Structure formats: C-alpha cells, structure tokens
Amino acid sequence: MPSIKIKNISKSYVSSDGEDVLALKNIDLEIRDGEFVCIVGPSGCGKSTLLEIVAGLQKQTAGEVLLDDVPVNGTSRDIGVVFQDAALFPWRTVKKNILFGMETAGISRKEQEEKLEKYLQLMNLKGFENKYPAQLSGGMRQRAGIARTLIMEPKVTLMDEPFSAVDHLTRCTLQEELIRLRQQEKKTVLFVTHDINEAVYLADRVILLSARPSVVQEEYVIDAPFPRSRSDDYLVQLVARIVADISRGAEKTSEVEYMI
Amino acid sequence: MEAAIKKSGKAKKKRRFTGINCLQLLTLAGLLGYMQYAVSSGKVSKIFLATPTSIVEEGVEIMTSGLLWPHLLLTIQEVLTGYLLAAVVGVTMGLMWTLFPKTEEYANVFCAAIMAIPKTAILPLLILWFGIGFKSKVVLVFLFSVFQILYNTVTGAKQCRTEFLKVASVFKANRFQTVFHVIIPSALPSMFNGFRLGVTTALTGVIFSEMQSAKAGLGYLLAESQQLLNTPRMFFLIILVTLISVVFVKVVAMAEFMFCHKWRRV
C-alpha cells in the first residue's frame, strides 16, 4: 500500500543577501495509495521545493517524509520524478533516454526491451524511439520524460509542472493521456502545477499552499468521476473558488508585510 | 513570390558561385601576379619576396630530392606525441577535478601558475633538461596544449545542467555512471573546443622550439632557409605548416562530428 506522508516539513535557506528565508512551514500532508494530489499556489511559494524534498533531492530543515511508513532519505527508485521540461539527455535517443533508469539499475537487456515496448505503446511514442530530443516537439519530449519515469514502475510518481513548457492544445492532450494512464495503472501521483484548471481537471484532491512562508492554506476534495468535462459546472466553480482563495491569501500577506 | 522564396532557399544550400567569389579570386590572382612581376622584374629583392613559380619549384625540389620528408615526419611525430599526451592528461585531470573537487582545490593554483608562464620562456630550461632533440619538443607541445584541454574539460563538466544531475540522482546513478553517462557527454562540445584550440597551439609550439634549437624538423628547416636566404623555401614551408594546421583542425572537427553531430542542433 504505497502512501506518502509528509510530516511537519519545514524548509529554510539562506538567501544571497545573507537573510534566513523560511520557505515551507510545518507542512502536513498525506497522499493515499492510488490517489492523485495536485499542489497549487502562488509562484515562489515553494511548491517545487516541497516536491524536491519528497523526491529526496533537497534536505528539509525539519520534519520527515515517510513512504509506506519508512522515512525517505535521499532519492529512491520507489519515487519517480518527472521534470519540468522533461530534462531528456540530448545525446541519447528517445529509446536510450527511456532506458536510462533501467541501465543504471543494471536490469537485463531482455527485460529492458520488453518493458520498452510496453511504455512506447502506452505513451504513443512508437516510431520515435530512434529520434533525438532535439528532433521532437515539446509534447513528445515530455511523453518520453514520463515514459522514462514510469518504466521504472515507481510506487509514487512526482511531477513538477510537467506540462508548463508546452502549448495549450498539447497540454490538453497530455492531460487526457495522463487521465487515461491513471485509469489503467492506478498510480499514486503528487503533481505540482501553477495551472488551477489543470489541477482541478486531473486531481482527486487539490492542496493550496499560501505565499511564503508556505503553509497548507486550503484543501479541496474533487468529488467528480472520470472522464470529466472541462466545462462541468462543479469544476468551473471550484476553479473560481480556488482563484478567489489565492487572491484572498495574497491580500492577507501583503497587508501584514508591505503594500506593493 | 513563393517561387522566389523557394529559389533563394535553394541557392543558399547549393552555395552558388557569386560575384563576391569572383572578386576574391581576382584579388588573389592579382596579388600572386604582382609578386611574380615585382620579383622577376627586380623591383623587389629576391631576399624579401619570392615569385609563386619559384615557391612551387622549390617545393617540388625538396620533395623529390627527399630533403623534406624526414623533417616533416619528425615534426608530425613530435606534435602528435605531445598533443595526445596533453589530451590524455588534460581530460583525465579535468574529470578527476570534477569527480573529486578537493583535487581541484589542491592542484588548481599550481596549474594556474604553470599556465601563466609564457611557455616560450621555459624553452631554454627544457633544453637543459631534455636536450635539443625529440623530448624537449614533446614537453613543450604538451605544455602548449594541455591547459586548453584541461580547462575546457573542467568548464564543460561544470556546465552540466543541474536538471541532468537531478535526473541522475533520481535514478540512483552511481558516481561512475553519472560521470560517464551524464557529465562527459554534456561536456563533449566544450572538450572538443579545447581539442581544437590545443591542436593549433601544439603546432605553434613545435615549430617555435624547432626554430630555436634543433637538428631537424620543419621549424629547423625554416630557420635554416632564412640563414641561407632561401626565401622561396621559407614561403613553401610556411604554406606547408599552415596546411598541416588546417588538416589537424579538420581531423578534430571530424571527430567532433562523429561524436556530437547527431544530437546537436547545427
């Protein structure tokens, strides 16, 4: 039963001016097995920092992250990460990029090939396996990036604004594919985005982080079955509510600290 | 309109012979023609300039008489030995610095100091230590090109995108895998930049040291022809070393093409 528990995570760092900045403050979250949770929040609120802490790429100042009740210490093959602009290696073909994780894990050639076939199919990458990233569109690149993560079959998948670098239409297609993928595979996903429409459309639950120092400002359970419609009244109203909550949060902090 | 656009696009690809090219050829021909005229008419002394025909004659002469070949072979041997040594040492050290930053912290100050010495200034010392033969040339060539290769390797390795290192870390790549599958490939373009710079300076180094003190080599031949006031031979040798330099750069470029062309946007 893979689940992620984020317990009382705080993160502070020293800025270039030598000041102590508190980025995250006592974040408590639990992502249950098979759940798709989106984190949204104003820019600079530390969404990506939180995700990198869960991934083991950054150290928290306080608190702990538990995967199946075991503390996460550094990166782990059980936690997959999809990066913002796919971060494919330009010197490797799509195929070699997707197999990177399996190569480092020392998995046999035969098994690599079998899995590759499955994930090329799953991510609609058939026929592109011998292309280099520079020859692909942004959408294709991110498909390969997702395939590279999923082929390792991690218990939990973290996605850091994975569709922010592609155009709107491609983004919609990728969102549909992600929903289809979830219905097939029932993955546990933590998804960071600044696009509230995207969050509401994809997630079972949306977590709103406040501006710095970030705390969990609000939590929204999205009680709508898949497939969803983008024009669904319930979803549209939810988006409006989240947007209102964000600007309310922004007002609050600007009152306390300073007026812009 | 559309046809015109298509046409101009095609012309770019085919590199047509243009009016500018004509002018360039004419300039070159004019220059050579003037050299021929000025020297053969006695307007310019034969010591200062050579007629193109005498340069060609001299070239044919030293090639057919066999005078050239031992010198050419020696110079190439010296430059290749020194350069390959510099490439191996430069790349190995650069990677070691990236792998173990402490080694850079320790060695960088020494390397920077040695790099700062004008290499030509230590030639007299090198001759004392290694004699006027093969060894001192190889050492000088090595010193001429090793730093360009070393520092370009280090820079390239450090410029590896942090996202790539994060990917390596997320997939639990070990140190060896990270270096050989992530850092080196992303440093390759910069490394080749170092190889390219290094190969031209290597040739400069060998010619210079042969001119200063040697018993053989193209640089020696060049200095000797100056003493003999054999200007056509000097011109021929200058053209020859230039060609060698061009060939070396081309070989490096070809290697770069083989390793990087497929994925680099050209």
Residue A228 DSSP label: P
Give the number of A-B residue pairs with CB atoms closer than 8 Å.
64
Pick the residue from chain A with its C-alpha nearest to B175: A104
Answer whether B177 sits within 8 Å of A101, measured CB to CB: no
Q: Which of the listed ranges A198-207, B80-89, B156-165, B182-191 does the model predict with the highest average pLDDT?
A: B80-89
Answer whether A103 sits within 8 Å of B181, measured CB to CB: yes
| Percent of all residues in chain A with a pLDDT value above 70, rounded to a whole number | 95
Distances (CA, A) of A162 to A44, A191, A192: 17, 8, 8
State pLDDT tens for residues B212-258. 888 899 999 999 999 999 999 999 999 999 999 999 999 999 998 88
Mutation site for B-interface testing, chosen from A82, A93, A103, A104 by largest number of B Cβ within 10 Å: A104
- Ranking A25-39, A227-241, B23-37, B171-185 by mean pLDDT, the lowest is A227-241
Residues of B within 8 A of A100 (CB-CB) are 167, 171, 181
- Mean pLDDT, range A21-41, rounded to an integer: 89
Residue B10, pLDDT above cutoff 80:
no
Q: What's the pLDDT score for residue A137?
A: 87
Give B178→chain A minimum CA distance, Å: 9
Strands A188-192 and A216-221 turn out to be unpaired
Q: What's the pLDDT score for residue A254?
A: 53
State pLDDT tens for residues A174-211. 898 889 888 887 889 999 998 888 998 989 999 998 88
Confidence of residue B265 (pLDDT cuts 50, 70, 90): low
Look up residue B165 and give its amino acid: L
Residues of A within 8 A of B166 (CB-CB) are 57, 81, 83, 87
Answer whether A89 sits within 8 Å of B164, measured CB to CB: yes
- Which residues, in sequence order, are bridge partners of residue A13? A21
State pLDDT tens for residues A199-254. 989 899 999 988 878 888 888 888 888 788 888 888 888 888 888 888 887 766 55
- Ranking A85-99, A131-145, B50-64, B249-263 by mean pLDDT, the lowest is B249-263
Beta-carbon contacts of A163 under 8 Å, excluding residues fewer than 6 positions away, are A142, A170, A171, A174, A175, A193, A195, A198
Residue B180 DSSP label: I
Tell me the helix, strand and coil percentages in chain B, rounded to 5: 85, 0, 15
Which domains are assigned to chain A? 4-78+155-256 (3.40.50.300), 89-153 (no CATH)
Distances (CA, A) of B33 to A39, A118, B38, B45, B52: 77, 71, 9, 16, 8
Q: What's the pLDDT score for residue A19?
A: 84
Residue B3, pLDDT above cutoff 50:
no
At A136 the three-state DSSP class reads: coil
- What is the C-alpha separation between A59 and B245, in angstroms, rounded? 52
Answer whether B263 sits within 8 Å of A87, measured CB to CB: no
| Contact criterion met (CB below 8 Å) for A170 and A137 | yes
- What is the C-alpha separation between B117 and B134, in angstroms, rounded? 22
**Structure token digits, residue B169:** 């870390």
Burial (CB < 10 A; 0-12, 13-18, 19+), residue B162, is exposed
Q: Which residue has the higher pLDDT, A258 or B91?
A: B91
Answer whether A100 sits within 8 Å of B167, measured CB to CB: yes
Interface predicted TM-score (ipTM): 0.87
Residues of A within 8 A of B164 (CB-CB) are 87, 89
The upper half-sphere exposure of residue B239, i.e. CA atoms within 13 Å in the direction of its Cβ, equals 12
Residue A87 DSSP label: -
A76 has a chain B CB within 8 A of its CB: yes
State pLDDT tens for residues B17-43. 888 999 999 999 999 999 999 999 988
Torsion angle, alpha carbons of A163, A169, A172, A173, to 10: -100
State pLDDT tens for residues B78-102. 999 999 999 999 999 998 998 888 9
- Mean pLDDT, range B100-107, rounded to an integer: 92
Q: Of the candidates B172, B181, B188, which has its C-beta nearest A75's C-beta?
A: B172
- Mean pLDDT, range A27-31, rounded to an integer: 89
| Contact criterion met (CB below 8 Å) for A162 and A83 | yes
Q: Quick check: pTM over 0.95? A: no
- Mean pLDDT, range A42-67, rounded to an integer: 87
Residue B128, pLDDT above cutoff 90:
yes
| Contact criterion met (CB below 8 Å) for A40 and A209 | yes
A221 phi/psi in degrees, rounded to 5: -90, 125
State pLDDT tens for residues A94-137. 999 999 999 999 888 888 888 898 889 888 888 898 999 988 88
B248 membership: H or E segment, kind and range? helix B231-260
**What integer best gives the mean pLDDT of chain B?**
89
A106 has a chain B CB within 8 A of its CB: no
- What is the C-alpha separation between B122 and B114, in angstroms, rounded? 10
Distances (CA, A) of B251 to B86, B247, B254, B260: 17, 6, 5, 14
